[in-house]
Chain A
Amino acid sequence: MDEKRLLEVKDLKVHFFTDDGVVKAVDGVSFHIDKGETLAVVGESGSGKSVTSLAIMRLIPNPPGRIVGGEMLFRGKDGQVKDLVKQDEASMRKIRGNDIAMIFQEPMTSLNPVYTVGDQIAEAIMLHQGKSRKEALELSAEMLDLVGIPEPRKRLSNYPHQMSGGMRQRVMIAMALSCNPSLLIADEPTTALDVTIQAQILELMYKLQEEIGMSILFITHNLGVVAEMADRVVVMYAGRAVEEADVTATFKRSKHPYTMGLLNSVPRLDLAAEHRQRLEAIPGNVPNPLHLPAGCAFHPRCKYFQEGRCNTDIPELQDTGGGHMVRCVRWAEIQSELEVKA
């Protein structure tokens, strides 16, 4: 694996074996994250973005879920490259929290209500760094200070319910960063928060990344957040990556009809009212994962659909130049069609 690579996911497949059939939640997803980089994975509900992040942590509930194929090469703090798919539970325990940490959407349900905030942060430090409880609590206070919680020493003895949503998310971040992970997975970390609090948390994550230098895998459906946080973007639809590019290319020169549709369906505050048109909604619904459409899963909702080409074979992810990957058989034609229009 390349020196600067931290994680390389190759052809990951996560399937859920339910009574109604097999749900291919993630079906052949590949991407990589470099050291210090922020990669955003964007998608709507059912796209497989959260399952991807849980798979990296090896937290897929089994049964019914199972990683049925692929590789996840990860460079640990010791410099060794391991395939996360092949690690046993004992080895994963050493990696979780220590090398890879995760923060979740709902800061209330991901903290234990019957333990103090201090105890919860200290737990990971004692486990991974072999520190005494006293040392660990001291470090916990430093972490709370780092994430901008006032009077950190006093706050150690607080219970989660004594804190606001924004504060709890800060505690989650403190806990996640307490062991200096090289990868932070943030699964919709600001979705449950108000915009002014979201702005605080995003600023904090940005600042901490500058200071600590960890890589971030940012899972979100909010395109505004992506534009502000990400270096590169992977767009997912129905269990597959449909487009991958750097952040500017994603927003300015998107090539997949789904990405274009997604960008057009967001109301934009920054466009003057006079220039605004009716929102261009993507028709139809996200497909049922048990009965995915044949060929390109997006074809029933796509305005560039062509009979016999889009609904026969699953398109390959193609490199269109400069690492801009697109999974669409018609991307080049659509591109020239759009150029003619412009």
Chain B
Amino acid sequence: MSMPTPTAVATSLVEVQNLKKWFPIRGGILSRVVANVKAVNDVSFDVKRGEVLGLVGESGSGKTTVGRTVLRLIEPTSGTIRFDGHDITHLPKPQLRAYRRKMQIIFQDPFASLNPRMTVGDIIAEPLVIHNLEGSAQARTERVAELLQMVGLNPDHIRRYPHEFSGGQRQRIGIARALAVRPEFIVADEPVSALDVSIQAQVVNLLQDLKEQLGLTILFIAHDLAVVEYISDRIAVMYLGKVMELASSKDLYRSPKHPYTEALLSAIPVPDPTVKRERIVLQGDIPSPINPPSGCVFRTRCRYAIKECAEVVPELREVAPGHFKACIRDDIL
């Protein structure tokens, strides 16, 4: 189990401030913007060097959009993104490339994220070619073999194609590709959700080992709170484009302070038939991000909601050391 790395001053590698990403919806003959999908709506957090920050939320919470916006794979609507102290929010493409080498992504679907016409060797070597690393073809091949070994694959399989591998093995290839350029920061977007349970554990363990070995900083995005809690030092819980709660994984599980986190935790079925818990079943569905509820976006499904919840947008504030929540009520939980 990874514990928060005890550094004298825990410095932030990635800082995100007031990040917004609105996707416009155009309509009418003039294609005017008629509405916006507020996928990410004023999100702030930081990822400390050497830490795994978990980002959990249900579909439509904006967690994937956050991950991609941080890497500038999607351009933010407003807000700032800092990497290692440098503002990269508006950095033009040529300058951004130097940062791209330091930030990599692992995708969810190991079947869709590998080009079926390329050999495993070419897939993993591609980032090296793009970033002009390891000069000669010989050096690249050696590096690829080393990477394959690192992720637990047979280096002799360098000439094979993706279809010759199982889901878990393909995810290892995706990880090797992300690690090829020796990045400092990795966004892992649902890296284990497409895998079988027994294989999921292999990949979680691999990520944990690589993190220790290479000193990686990871933004781990997933909908499965059990997996996130397992691998993360701290966790941010998102709902409808906003961060509801942010705390160390231990605190978040032991004493959730936000009603949404409380409900989310109680909704997860425990693999133990002798444990009988009180389950809080949230009513209704997640509202539309085009027209989110006023005030607190969770209030329409919250069992503690009061009149004031519709009036003020709750700020993410520190309620205990390192424990933040966006809820105006302090008399609950």
Contact = CB atoms under 8 A, between A and B. Distances in A.
Interface in A100-152: none
B166 interface: yes
Interface in B210-245: 223, 225-227, 229-230
Contact of B1 (A226, A276, A283): A276
B267 A224 contact: no
A226 B271 contact: yes
A200 B281 contact: yes
B169 A281 contact: no
Given A44-B196, A194-B58, A280-B201, A270 B269 contact: no
B303 to A, nearest CB: 12
Interface stretch (A50-58, A258-266, A307-315): A258-266
Interface string A219-231: 0011111111010
Nearest to A246: B273
Contacts of A167: 285
A223 B58 contact: no
A194 B59 contact: yes
Contacts of B59: 194
A263 B273 CA distance: 12
A87 to B, nearest CB: 34
B285 A44 contact: no
Given A227-B269, A227-B273, A199 B279 contact: yes
B166 to A, nearest CB: 5
Interface centre among B58, B166, B226, B271, by most chain A C-beta atoms within 10 angstroms, is B271
Contact of B201 (A251, A282, A286): A282
B301 to A, nearest CB: 8
A251 B223 contact: no
Given A276-B230, A285-B168, A286-B196, A269 B225 contact: yes
A199 B225 contact: no
Given A196-B58, A247-B273, A279 B204 contact: yes
Nearest to B286: A194
Contact of A224 (B204, B223, B269): B269
Interface in B42-61: 58-59
B230 A267 contact: yes
Given A262-B198, A273-B1, A280-B201, A199 B273 contact: no
Given A199-B267, A280-B201, A281-B201, A194 B223 contact: yes
B118 interface: no
Contacts of A283: 202
Contacts of B226: 266-269
A227 B249 contact: no
Nearest to A167: B285
A196 B272 contact: no
Contacts of B197: 44, 221, 223, 262, 265-266
A196 B200 contact: no
A198 B270 contact: no
B235 to A, nearest CB: 12
A230 B269 CA distance: 12
B268 interface: yes
A341 interface: no
Nearest to A261: B198
Contact of A285 (B169, B204, B263): B169
B198 A197 contact: no
A277 interface: yes
B273 A248 contact: yes
A195 interface: yes
Contacts of A276: 1, 230
B1 A281 contact: no
Nearest to A198: B267
Contacts of B95: none
Given A167-B285, A262-B197, A262-B198, A195 B223 contact: yes
Nearest to B285: A164
B310 interface: no
Interface string B279-301: 10111011000000000000000
B285 A285 contact: no
A251 B272 CA distance: 6
B275 interface: yes
Nearest to B229: A269
B205 interface: yes
Contacts of B285: 164, 166-167, 197
A96 B152 CA distance: 47
A200 B285 CA distance: 10
A137 B168 CA distance: 47
20 contacts: A166-B285, A195-B223, A197-B285, A198-B269, A199-B267, A199-B269, A199-B282, A221-B196, A222-B269, A228-B273, A251-B273, A251-B274, A252-B273, A252-B274, A266-B271, A267-B229, A269-B270, A273-B249, A281-B202, A283-B202
Q: Which 3 A-B pairs have the closest CB atoms?
A: A224-B269, A281-B201, A265-B201
Given A221-B197, A282-B198, 4 more contacts: A196-B263, A200-B283, A269-B253, A269-B268
